[in-house]
Structure 1
Amino acid sequence: MSSTELPRTQGVPQTPPAAPQSDDSVTVRHVALQGATLVVRRRTPEREGLEPAVYVHGLGGSALNWTALAGELAGRVDGEAIDLPGFGHSPPPDDGDYSITGHSRAVIRYLDAARRGPVHLFGNSMGGAVVTRVAALRPDLVRTLTLVSPALPELRPQRSAVPTALLAIPGSGSVFLRLTKDWTPERRTGAVLALCYGDPARVSPEGFAEAVTEYERRLTLPYHWEVMERSARGIVDAYTLGGQHGLWRQARRVLAPTLLVYGARDRLVSVRMARKAHRSFPDSRLLVLPRAGHVAMMEYPRVVARAFGDLLAERGGS
């Protein structure tokens, strides 16, 4: 991806609605960094002294994507999930840079500012590419790396992933809205879940209702489609990078013990890439879930948590 900074949209309000309120199990705060403000959700750990963890979501996601896994791991790590710039409740970055490098820079700045590192770093999809770059560039910040369906370059992407790649085309958001103008919020949300889940029936009625509310909220944000289009373009551009900036080259530079989680029913990141990832990350373990789709940490959080616990046990952690 070129490091050229993209201009912000002029005359468009850039501040999203206030972040959701904290409760007894989760605290939510805004963290001001150089060039960006991140909303961070911290799951209250079950005891003091646990090692820190940071969760990074994928394209179109938010910190909420990690709620189930963070709950499973509350007795193992002191976890924080971040909304990347422009996603969830975080406002867009000042420079309008939504490349993998731009998102990685935001994560690094947060980890430096928080002074909690090294952390157990988790990433899903686009977030997996982001944290791979973080781990390669700043090994001092990473204890372990857990990647759930990471968006690493594929020579032959699955046909079902093509519509997502088309988001990289400028104006694709307005085309989507015209094509789906007669869709109900439930139908829109159902289409997203069908793309991401191996079995959408695993989503509870309460979870589906929450997903509908969150998706409709995002569609009201004036910068929503700009963020989606530019972030999708950032993924596509990262796939074309060669040399030392290529994601597979950077995967080989990762020093941290790495857990790779793939879903056999993933329609966005092919399970065919699992073996290549296992060969590329020098110190890696591979978990393939036969019924999972693109978001195994949401579909099978207990299984993913158990695999992470095994990783901790191997390195002598808590």
Structure 2
Amino acid sequence: MKRATLGPEHLLPEHGCPPPWPGREVRLDGTVTYVRDTPATAPEAEPALYVHGLGGSSQNWTDLAGLLAGRLDGQAIDLPGFGRSEPGQRYTVPAFADRVVRWIEHSGRGPVHLFGNSLGGAVSVRVAALRPDLVRTLTLISPALPFLDFRRSLQGRMLPLLAVPRGERLAAWRLARLDPEVMAQQVMESCVADLSRISEQRRLEALEEIRVRYETAHHAAAYVRTFRGLVSSFLRAYLPGAGSLWRLAAAVRAPTLVIGGTHDRLVDVRVAPQAARVIPDSRLLMLGGVGHVAQLEVPRTVARAVLALLAEPRDGVARLAVTEDSAVRPDVAG
């Protein structure tokens, strides 16, 4: 594990708040996958793919993808059952990883710089470990890798639902009783440490995303079944077998940046440092006072860390200059 560094601020575009990037429906293996494209703003940009977390969507990457458009030709997908993608048959980490692999193969853009937040981080670890030919670098933001103490996660309150037959029906009933504005505020409060960092435009977009979920009959089932699949993967991680996410993390060979927030309320704050220790070629950046979605809360800092990763010599060639005084120590609070 290395300490992460930050690329120069001046390499990023000016401050702004772009609208969500244009999206399109793509039929893949008989179902629709929704994809947003963030076109590169400079020649020779390399392909990137962004994978969202549980309950999120491709829209979660609007700011970061825009900031990196000078280096990366970005795409962000909605996983099956989330955002504007059609539901899937299975909601497990392996099933989602298979969809990511199929998309990279279908698009013909591999290998890509792969980004994953939360659930998307766990999915991206599996992709990078099993299909190294498809991944140039890996960036994990608050990856939902296994931890067993759910007292350290607000999602621990959902565990009783997993014991209820067809618990998704109860989840849908609860969802229908909440006003969209209340739901959007609760989602923001659970994911973001400092709400003052989120612009009014982003708040309104989050509200619109919640309204889309209310109109989608499968959303509650997709959410509960995905949470069940994630918890199952956590339990299997501590049992013998090749499918353990921690064993897969140890098999990742791509240069990896791991980012965590010291005020993460959804994933145990000890997970990001542990991921950086397990992944062989890793760099750790712990952000003080930041929550679960650093790419939304402090996108410029995340973008600078990614630029530094991309600037590292590959085959003896450095792509960008990074100053020595931009080092960030991987200190962990809590």
Kindly indicate whether the alpha-carbon contact (under 8 Å) linking 1:168 and 1:231 is maintained by their aligned counterparts in 2: no
Supply the distance in 2 between the matched residues of 1:116 and 1:167 (Cα, whole angstroms).
39
Against the structure 1 CA distance between its residues 117 and 312, is the aligned structure 2 distance closer, same or farther, given a 3 Å change threshold?
same
Show the counterpart of 2:287: 289
> Which amino acid is the alignment partner of residue 140 of structure 2?
L
Show the counterpart of 1:115: 108
Aligned to 1:266, the other structure's residue is in SS state: coil
Show the counterpart of 1:153: 146
Kindly indicate whether the alpha-carbon contact (under 8 Å) linking 1:152 and 1:239 is maintained by their aligned counterparts in 2: yes
Percent identity over the alignment? 47
Against the structure 1 CA distance between its residues 276 and 54, is the aligned structure 2 distance closer, same or farther, given a 3 Å change threshold?
same
Kindly indicate whether the alpha-carbon contact (under 8 Å) linking 2:143 and 2:272 is maintained by their aligned counterparts in 1: no
Supply the distance in 2 between the matched residues of 1:131 and 1:215 (Cα, whole angstroms).
25
Q: CA offsets, 1:257-291, max 9 Å, x none? A: 00000000000111112221111000000000111
Show the counterpart of 1:239: 234
Q: Does 1:215 align with 2:210?
A: yes
Supply the distance in 2 between the matched residues of 1:283 and 1:206 (Cα, whole angstroms).
37
Kindly indicate whether the alpha-carbon contact (under 8 Å) linking 1:27 and 1:44 is maintained by their aligned counterparts in 2: no
Q: Does 1:142 align with 2:135?
A: yes
Supply the distance in 2 between the matched residues of 1:112 and 1:179 (Cα, whole angstroms).
39
Q: CA deviation at 1:71?
A: 0.9
Q: CA deviation at 1:90?
A: 0.6
Supply the distance in 1 between the matched residues of 2:116 and 2:68 (Cα, whole angstroms).
15
Supply the distance in 1 between the matched residues of 2:21 and 2:173 (Cα, whole angstroms).
38
> Which amino acid is the alignment partner of residue 309 of structure 2?
L
Show the counterpart of 1:205: 200
Supply the distance in 2 between the matched residues of 1:163 and 1:24 (Cα, whole angstroms).
33
Show the counterpart of 1:268: 266
Against the structure 1 CA distance between its residues 145 and 210, is the aligned structure 2 distance closer, same or farther, given a 3 Å change threshold?
same
Instruction: Single out whichever of 58-67 and 32-41 deviates more from structure 2.
Output: 32-41
Kindly indicate whether the alpha-carbon contact (under 8 Å) linking 2:259 and 2:286 is maintained by their aligned counterparts in 1: yes
Supply the distance in 2 between the matched residues of 1:144 and 1:250 (Cα, whole angstroms).
16
Aligned to 2:228, the other structure's residue is in SS state: helix
Show the counterpart of 2:48: 53
Aligned to 2:267, the other structure's residue is in SS state: coil
Aligned to 1:134, the other structure's residue is in SS state: helix
Structure 2, unmatched stretches of 5+, are: 1-17, 321-334
Q: CA offsets, 1:271-317, max 9 Å, x none? A: 11222111100000000011111100000100000000110111334
Instruction: Single out whichever of 251-260 and 191-200 deviates more from structure 2.
Output: 191-200
Supply the distance in 1 between the matched residues of 2:94 and 2:303 (Cα, whole angstroms).
28
Against the structure 1 CA distance between its residues 179 and 89, is the aligned structure 2 distance closer, same or farther, given a 3 Å change threshold?
closer
Where in structure 2 are the equivalents of 1:4-153 lying within 5 Å?
26-93=21-88, 96-153=89-146
Supply the distance in 2 between the matched residues of 1:115 and 1:180 (Cα, whole angstroms).
39
Q: Does 1:280 align with 2:278?
A: yes
Against the structure 1 CA distance between its residues 146 and 48, is the aligned structure 2 distance closer, same or farther, given a 3 Å change threshold?
same
Show the counterpart of 1:188: 183
Kindly indicate whether the alpha-carbon contact (under 8 Å) linking 1:167 and 1:232 is maintained by their aligned counterparts in 2: no
Aligned to 2:193, the other structure's residue is in SS state: coil
Against the structure 1 CA distance between its residues 246 and 152, is the aligned structure 2 distance closer, same or farther, given a 3 Å change threshold?
same
Aligned to 1:38, the other structure's residue is in SS state: strand
Using CA pairs under 8 Å that are at least 6 residues apart, name the structure with larger relative contact order, 1 or 2.
2
Q: CA offsets, 1:50-91, max 9 Å, x none? A: 100000001100000000100110111000000111111110
Against the structure 1 CA distance between its residues 222 and 183, is the aligned structure 2 distance closer, same or farther, given a 3 Å change threshold?
closer
Supply the distance in 2 between the matched residues of 1:163 and 1:130 (Cα, whole angstroms).
23
Structure 1, unmatched stretches of 5+, are: 1-22
Kindly indicate whether the alpha-carbon contact (under 8 Å) linking 1:45 and 1:74 is maintained by their aligned counterparts in 2: yes
Instruction: Single out whichever of 217-226 and 29-38 deviates more from structure 2.
Output: 29-38
Q: CA deviation at 1:176?
A: 4.4
Kindly indicate whether the alpha-carbon contact (under 8 Å) linking 1:266 and 1:293 is maintained by their aligned counterparts in 2: yes
CA-based RMSD of the aligned residues comes to 2.0
Q: CA deviation at 1:212?
A: 1.2
TM-score by length of 1: 0.87
> Which amino acid is the alignment partner of residue 261 of structure 2?
G
Against the structure 1 CA distance between its residues 239 and 24, is the aligned structure 2 distance closer, same or farther, given a 3 Å change threshold?
closer
